[in-house]
Chain A
Amino acid sequence: MRTCGATPGGPDLSGVDLSKQTVIQGAVLRAGIADGVPNGAPVGNAYVRLLDAQGEFTAEVPTNVDGQFRFFAAPGSWTIVVLAAGAREEVKVEAIQGTPVELVIELH
């Protein structure tokens, strides 16, 4: 869980076998400063879409109350698209097995 002062990112990875999974995860935040933390408030009702290297839709998840999301992908190039009320952000990532991709996506 994200706590004040902690590095924002995806959900807790305990219980996930990282030797077998290719994880892309992160947190969606409103740009700005909240509670003294140099990132904005978590966006808990955003939709995060995972597109493959050809731009084809692969998966979509809603963020949790901490603005977090997680995908179990395969190694390679992926695009993350975040949709929320009044906002859309796109981020390209390279995923590898064993080391999770941790993202912080700010909505403007």
Chain B
Amino acid sequence: MSRSNSLVSTDWVAENLSNPNVVFVEVDEDTTLYDKGHIQGAIKFHWRDDLQDGLIRDVISKEKFEALLSKSGISNDTTVILYGGNNNWFAAYAYWYFKLYGHQDVRLIDGGRKLWEIQARDLTEEVPTPIATRYVAQERDQSIRAFRDEVIAAIGVKNIVDVRSPAEFSGELAAPAHLPQEAGQIKGHVPTAKNIPWSKAANEDGTFKSNDELSDLYQGAGVDFTQETIAYCRIGERSAFSWFVLSELLDLQNVKNYDGSWTEYGSLVGVPVAIGA
């Protein structure tokens, strides 16, 4: 992957609104924003309702993913353009998800919904009616997904990147500051993890920083690009954003998203935890 085949600009979007091989998908935790206005032709995915199993804590099955994409009018050769609010967190999570199930051509809108709105571009309330397809997904690519035992084994061995805010990393806050601070898990971080907040990879308008800036950011914080890297956050969506930066923009090999993240790790009995900056 590289910047050119994993990211599109808002200008590109404006020029491709009627491109028949492109499906735009707005992905978020709050899809009421979509209902109030979205990019012309875009469909919506709800992060929880569409992309979480619902019974067990896991991604949806291959069959459910195929059904979701088929009813959404997405074929195996469709160019899928994802975007959302929250600086593309959930769109990046969906991107990771599309790669998990082997979709070839999927990209993010650089700057996401925020830049589109700041640029005062058109939004519509019109909901498209997709023509159903018969989407065939690949088996899950577990090389981009880390599980808890692998994270514990990586302490002091591999790069572990905690992409939450400094206050969450240190143990001061249990969740991002726009959410109530009540949670079952304890506070802190995985020992030896480097705290490189996802937000440092983004400009104020939501676009990604340049590859040179991104390399300096991670290497400057002590990430060894020749080693394997595991990224985590609280629920796996901000770390999907940082996974996207490392794996897709910087084209690094062996980068995994730990989607169990702190809500899982911080609930495990007996695992090592560190607090403080």
Task: Please report A residues at the B interface, Cβ cutoff 8 Å.
Answer: 16, 20-21, 45, 47, 49-50, 52, 54, 56-62, 65, 70-74, 81, 83-86
Contact = CB atoms under 8 A, between A and B. Distances in A.
Interface SS of chain A: strand
A61 B114 CA distance: 10
B188 interface: no
Interface of B: 33, 36, 85-87, 114, 117-120, 165-167, 172-173, 175-182, 197, 199-200, 204-205
B73 to A, nearest CB: 27
A46 to B, nearest CB: 9
A85 B117 contact: yes
A55 B120 CA distance: 27
Contact of B118 (A47, A54, A70, A71): A47
Interface SS of chain B: loop
Please give me the 3 A-B residue pairs with the lowest Cβ-Cβ distance, nearest first. Answer: A57-B199, A59-B177, A85-B120
B120 A74 contact: no
A61 B178 contact: yes
A87 B269 CA distance: 48
Contact of B181 (A20, A62, A70, A86): A20
Contacts of A16: 180
B33 A70 contact: no
Interface core residue of A57, A62, A70, A71 (most chain B CB under 10 Å): A57
A49 to B, nearest CB: 7
Contacts of B180: 16, 21, 72
Contact of B114 (A57, A73, A83): A83
8 contacts: A20-B181, A45-B117, A47-B114, A52-B167, A58-B176, A62-B85, A72-B175, A85-B117
